[in-house]
């Protein structure tokens, strides 16, 4: 009898090429193998394209045929053991993360308490301790371990049961088998007054595996949050012209052909072209430009821009979902999917390590019981010893313990490492890409007042304090002296500000506002100051460089790294900054998609790219690059997308993080070598019955301590 499947035909959309499209949330995905299994099952069908986004746990289905075919495809997925549901408008994974955290806390607490009794059991013989005391300690360990294993093992047991019920396997199956076998044997030995139990190994194994799973969930949740924050740029209430009268509607209801009325200080909610008005807009959220951009009739207006002053009407050409901000979200998802090849080291090993170990344990049991005629109890004891001595504690600690110490070391120096494998990828970097505005520069415009006379500069500063325009704020910050008393101060929105001083009219603003007839033909940001009938004087602006930007670039080049600069700013401005810093490769006026194309080109050359940026337009590039860093002054969206966030105005953090990552990589390799050497030596001894469970437990703990002490060497790393 077929299981009833919800009818999703009402959610099916139509693409321009005539194919149907449906997006659903998938429950039950625990690893990349699950996603590959779904895609392999669906893509085998004619005319079907399926893609699973591991970060958002979404399945996107595209197919040829009628709407009802989607229901049949969904039934095929659910028969694999996965549950599908409509995508919620606001997805919240906090409950699942809290559940994993509770499981990890309980496993850790239980493991610590069991170790208290295990130490006495390890180092005291049954004759010395007494049989009754040893049995009591075993039962205490059982009372602590059994509830902890039942509760903390649920993420693995439930996933394994679902897989086996649908005649498939996943990574949680061997994990569950190992934990259940060790626990069952321990319980049997306790009831039979045996000499050895293995509750400590079972609980500790769960704790380490849960810690890795929780970190993975956290990092993927940050990527989801980054996408939501970008989409929030296009949420709110917009004003449209409807029959010649203004009308308020939700931003998501904006459609092409509508005319938006954007008041001063409001955000443009959809892409289009300026139908009426001439204003300055803040485009920093999209292009990375700190200085305002001028828009006039016919110019392209993008969703996310903020109107800095004056009346503005925009003829909508795209809905908010199809705007540049929406495209950035899609690019982020695509970039995140391409990063899926960076599988964490522990996951790569455990994918093959765990099933191989359990097969070896089974082989040892069959060899001694069926082949050598040994009783099933001692044969099973040897198999369990194999499981204990090869428990991947040392391998499980090899990466995390170094990463924790490295992350703490960097945190004390103002850097927050946000993803579990960031240092691994950072260590492979051979190319560093910097964004300009807000990264190599502070993001604050710097006014050049030396080109105007002393009194004219003082007049400009005296006028500028009466306006909140970004260029006026830059002049105010730059002027260190006293201000002059002005009269009749007036601001013409979008043009400039004027006042009277000693009978003269003083103007600060655009070329037409100040009566400029001839001006230099360059692309520098400017404003003008004019007094009476005297010739107007020009004030230019440049982003203020971070104090150690040039030194950092030079240090990176000395390390043999290739350094590039990408910027959405104008070519003249970008090339000026690149020349000052000694960056030979500069790409200006690039949009988010072009940044991805440049990074992809470097990847095709075999380059390992570190991207350092701060704007929303950098978020897809940060995710596409091998590793990414962002200053703490960046927007929250960009910080969420970055692997490392650094504090302060110094760029020294970039070279320091690279040096720390290189040392981290050395320690990780040494830890892996020690852990693998331990297993190469210990496994044959365990399989031949030369190791008791007590020695196995001691050896397992010793291997874990060895990699931990080696990782502590990270604290010896010097900053210079």
Q: What is the pLDDT of residue 347?
A: 46
Cβ 172 vs Cβ 30: under 8 Å: yes
Provide the pLDDT confidence category of residue 1 given band limits of 50, 70 and 90.
Answer: very low
Q: Give the residue among 239, 252, 238, 225 at the shortest CA–CA distance from 321.
A: 252
What sign does the dihedral 104-109-110-115 (CA atoms) show? Answer: positive
* Residue found by looking up tokens 């979200």 in the block: 329
Of the two residues 558 and 44, the one the predictor is more confident about is 558
Model confidence at 554: pLDDT above 70: yes
Cβ 259 vs Cβ 328: under 8 Å: no
User: How crowded is residue 88: how many other Cβ atoms within 10 Å of its Cβ?
Assistant: 8
Provide the pLDDT confidence category of residue 90 given band limits of 50, 70 and 90.
Answer: very low
- Residue 30: which residues within 8 A CB-CB, separation 6 or more? 155, 159, 170, 171, 172, 213
CATH fit for domain 9-86, picks 3.40.30.10, 3.60.130.10, 3.30.470.20, 3.30.70.100: 3.30.70.100
Q: Up-side HSE of residue 316: CA atoms within 13 Å toward CB?
A: 26
d(CA 537, CA 527): 9
Model confidence at 248: pLDDT above 50: yes
Cβ 467 vs Cβ 474: under 8 Å: no
List 628's β-bridge partners, or say none: 611
Provide the pLDDT confidence category of residue 339 given band limits of 50, 70 and 90.
Answer: very low
User: What is the average pLDDT value for the chain, to the nearest integer?
Assistant: 78
Class of domain 235-322: mainly beta
Model confidence at 610: pLDDT above 90: yes
Give mean pLDDT, residues 37-56: 76
- In 29-76, DSSP assigns E strands to 48-53, 58-63
Cβ 425 vs Cβ 643: under 8 Å: yes
Q: What is the pLDDT of residue 553?
A: 92
Q: What is the pLDDT of residue 149?
A: 92
Of the two residues 693 and 601, the one the predictor is more confident about is 601
3-state secondary structure of 691: coil
Model confidence at 670: pLDDT above 70: yes
List 279's β-bridge partners, or say none: 295
Model confidence at 374: pLDDT above 80: yes
For residue range 617-668, list pLDDT tens digits in order: 777 888 888 888 988 766 666 777 788 888 777 788 898 899 888 888 888 8
User: Which tokens belong to 356?
Assistant: 């191989």
Model confidence at 342: pLDDT above 50: no
Of the two residues 539 and 25, the one the predictor is more confident about is 539
User: Distances in Å between the alpha carbon of 249 and those of 124, 177, 241, 325?
Assistant: 77, 57, 11, 20
Instruction: Transcribe 431-475 into DSSP letters.
Output: EEEEEIIIIIEEEEEEEE-TTS-HHHHHHHHHHHTT---HHHHHH
- Residue 709: which residues within 8 A CB-CB, separation 6 or more? none
* Residue found by looking up tokens 């090869």 in the block: 390
Model confidence at 509: pLDDT above 70: yes
User: Which tokens belong to 28?
Assistant: 């039950």
User: Which tokens belong to 484?
Assistant: 């002059």
Phi, psi of 694 (to 5 degrees): -65, -50
Give per-residue burial for 52-62: e unless 16+ CB within 10 Å, then b.
bbbbbbbbebb
- Residue 710: which residues within 8 A CB-CB, separation 6 or more? 667, 670, 671, 674
Q: Give the residue among 404, 346, 345 at the shortest CA–CA distance from 711.
A: 404
Q: What is the pLDDT of residue 169?
A: 63
Give mean pLDDT, residues 86-91: 54
Helix boundaries (H) for 548-651: 549-558, 571-581, 592-604, 619-624, 636-641
User: Which tokens belong to 581?
Assistant: 């810093």
d(CA 696, CA 701): 9
User: Distances in Å between the alpha carbon of 267 and those of 225, 242, 438, 568?
Assistant: 21, 19, 21, 20
Lowest mean pLDDT among 214-223, 494-503, 662-671, 678-687: 214-223
Q: What is the pLDDT of residue 229?
A: 56
3-state secondary structure of 202: helix
Provide the pLDDT confidence category of residue 287 given band limits of 50, 70 and 90.
Answer: low
* Residue found by looking up tokens 């910097």 in the block: 434
Active-site residues, by number, are: 435
User: Which tokens belong to 193?
Assistant: 């007054």
Model confidence at 151: pLDDT above 90: yes
Model confidence at 349: pLDDT above 70: no
Q: What is the pLDDT of residue 6?
A: 64
Cβ 106 vs Cβ 151: under 8 Å: yes
Domain locations along the chain: 9-86, 92-234, 235-322, 408-442+545-658
Length of the chain: 720
Q: What is the pLDDT of residue 346?
A: 46
User: Which tokens belong to 119?
Assistant: 């130490």
Instruction: Please give the helix or strand (H or E) that residue 382 lies within, else none.
Output: helix 376-389
* Residue found by looking up tokens 């693998």 in the block: 676
Model confidence at 377: pLDDT above 80: no
Give mean pLDDT, residues 103-122: 82
Of the two residues 707 and 514, the one the predictor is more confident about is 514
Lowest mean pLDDT among 110-124, 177-191, 318-332: 318-332
d(CA 533, CA 384): 96
Model confidence at 292: pLDDT above 80: no
3-state secondary structure of 39: helix
Superfamily covering domain 408-442+545-658 = HAD superfamily/HAD-like (3.40.50.1000)
Q: What is the pLDDT of residue 66?
A: 82
List 295's β-bridge partners, or say none: 279
User: By CB neighbour count within 10 A (0-12 exposed, 13-18 middle, 19+ buried), where does 338 fall?
Assistant: middle
d(CA 20, CA 363): 50
Model confidence at 351: pLDDT above 80: no
What sign does the dihedral 187-188-193-195 (CA atoms) show? Answer: negative
Lowest mean pLDDT among 64-78, 537-551, 624-638: 624-638
* C-alpha 207, offset from chain centre: 24
First to last CA, the chain: 70
Lowest mean pLDDT among 23-27, 216-220, 613-617: 216-220
Q: What is the pLDDT of residue 55?
A: 54
User: Which tokens belong to 361?
Assistant: 């344990």
User: How crowded is residue 633: how many other Cβ atoms within 10 Å of its Cβ?
Assistant: 18
Q: Furthest-apart CA pair in the chain: how many Å?
A: 114
| Dihedral, 579, 583, 585, 589 alpha carbons, nearest 10 | -60
User: Distances in Å between the alpha carbon of 36 and those of 23, 340, 477?
Assistant: 17, 12, 56
For residue range 466-500, list pLDDT tens digits in order: 887 777 888 888 888 888 889 888 887 667 899 99
List 490's β-bridge partners, or say none: 498
Q: Give the residue among 337, 332, 342, 350 at the shortest CA–CA distance from 420.
A: 342
Q: What is the pLDDT of residue 344?
A: 47
């Amino acid at each position: 009898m077929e299981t009833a499947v919800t009818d999703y035909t009402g959610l099916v959309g139509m693409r321009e090429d005539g194919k149907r499209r449906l997006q659903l949330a998938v429950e039950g995905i625990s690893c990349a193998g699950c996603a590959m299994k779904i895609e392999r099952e669906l893509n085998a069908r004619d005319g079907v394209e399926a893609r699973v986004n591991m970060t958002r746990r979404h399945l996107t289905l595209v197919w040829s045929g009628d709407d009802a075919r989607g229901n049949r495809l969904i039934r095929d997925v659910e028969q694999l053991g996965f549950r599908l549901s409509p995508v919620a408008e606001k997805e919240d994974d906090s409950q699942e993360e809290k559940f994993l955290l509770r499981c990890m806390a309980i496993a850790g607490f239980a493991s610590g308490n069991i170790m208290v009794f295990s130490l006495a059991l390890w180092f005291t013989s049954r004759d010395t301790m007494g049989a009754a005391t040893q049995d009591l300690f075993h039962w205490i360990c059982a009372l602590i371990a059994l509830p902890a294993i039942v509760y903390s093992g649920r993420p693995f047991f439930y996933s394994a049961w679902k897989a086996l019920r649908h005649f498939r396997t996943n990574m949680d199956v061997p994990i569950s088998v190992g934990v259940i076998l060790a626990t069952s044997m321990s319980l049997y030995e306790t009831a039979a007054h045996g000499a050895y139990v293995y509750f400590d190994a079972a609980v500790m194994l769960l704790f380490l595996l849960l810690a890795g799973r929780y970190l993975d969930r956290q990092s993927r949740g940050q990527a989801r949050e980054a996408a939501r924050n970008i989409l929030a740029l296009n949420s709110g209430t917009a004003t449209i012209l409807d029959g010649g009268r203004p009308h308020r509607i939700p931003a998501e209801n904006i459609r092409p052909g509508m005319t938006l009325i954007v008041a001063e200080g409001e955000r443009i909610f959809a892409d289009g072209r300026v139908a009426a008005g001439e204003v300055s807009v803040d485009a920093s959220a999209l292009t990375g430009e700190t200085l305002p951009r001028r828009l006039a009739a016919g110019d392209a207006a993008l969703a996310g821009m903020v109107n800095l002053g004056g009346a503005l009407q925009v003829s909508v050409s795209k809905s908010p979902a199809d705007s540049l901000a929406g495209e950035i979200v899609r690019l982020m998802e695509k970039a995140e999917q391409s990063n899926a090849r960076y599988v964490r080291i522990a996951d790569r090993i455990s994918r093959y390590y765990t099933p191989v170990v359990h097969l070896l344990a089974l082989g040892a049991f069959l060899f001694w019981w069926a082949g050598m005629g040994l009783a099933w109890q001692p044969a099973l004891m040897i198999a369990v010893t194999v499981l204990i001595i090869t428990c991947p504690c040392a391998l499980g600690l090899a990466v995390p313990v170094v990463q924790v110490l490295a992350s703490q070391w960097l945190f004390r120096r103002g850097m927050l490492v946000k993803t579990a494998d960031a240092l691994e990828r950072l260590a492979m970097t051979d190319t560093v890409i910097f964004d300009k505005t807000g990264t190599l520069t502070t993001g604050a415009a710097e006014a050049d007042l030396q080109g105007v006379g002393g009194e004219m500069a003082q007049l400009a500063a005296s006028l500028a304090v009466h306006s909140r325009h970004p260029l006026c704020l830059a002049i105010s910050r730059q002027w260190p002296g006293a201000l002059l008393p002005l009269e009749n101060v007036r601001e013409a929105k979008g043009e400039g500000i004027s006042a009277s001083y000693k009978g003269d009219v003083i103007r600060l603003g655009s070329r037409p506002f100040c009566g400029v007839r001839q001006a230099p033909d360059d692309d520098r940001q400017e404003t003008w100051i004019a007094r009476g009938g005297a010739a107007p004087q020009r004030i230019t602006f440049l982003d203020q460089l971070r104090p150690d930007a040039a030194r950092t670039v030079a240090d990176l080049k000395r390390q043999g790294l290739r350094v590039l600069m990408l910027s959405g700013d104008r070519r003249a401005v970008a090339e000026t900054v690149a020349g000052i810093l000694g960056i030979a490769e500069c790409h200006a006026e690039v949009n988010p998609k072009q940044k991805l194309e440049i990074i992809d080109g470097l990847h095709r050359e075999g380059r390992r790219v570190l991207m350092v940026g701060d704007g929303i337009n950098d978020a897809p590039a940060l995710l596409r690059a091998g590793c990414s860093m962002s200053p703490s002054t960046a927007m929250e969206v960009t910080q969420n997308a970055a692997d490392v966030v650094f504090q302060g105005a110094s760029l020294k953090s970039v070279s320091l993080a690279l040096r720390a990552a290189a040392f981290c990589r050395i320690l990780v390799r040494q830890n892996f070598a020690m852990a693998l050497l331990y297993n190469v030596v210990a496994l044959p001894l365990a399989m031949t019955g030369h190791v008791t469970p007590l020695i196995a437990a001691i050896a397992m703990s010793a291997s874990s301590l060895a990699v931990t002490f080696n990782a502590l060497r990270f604290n010896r790393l010097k900053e210079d």
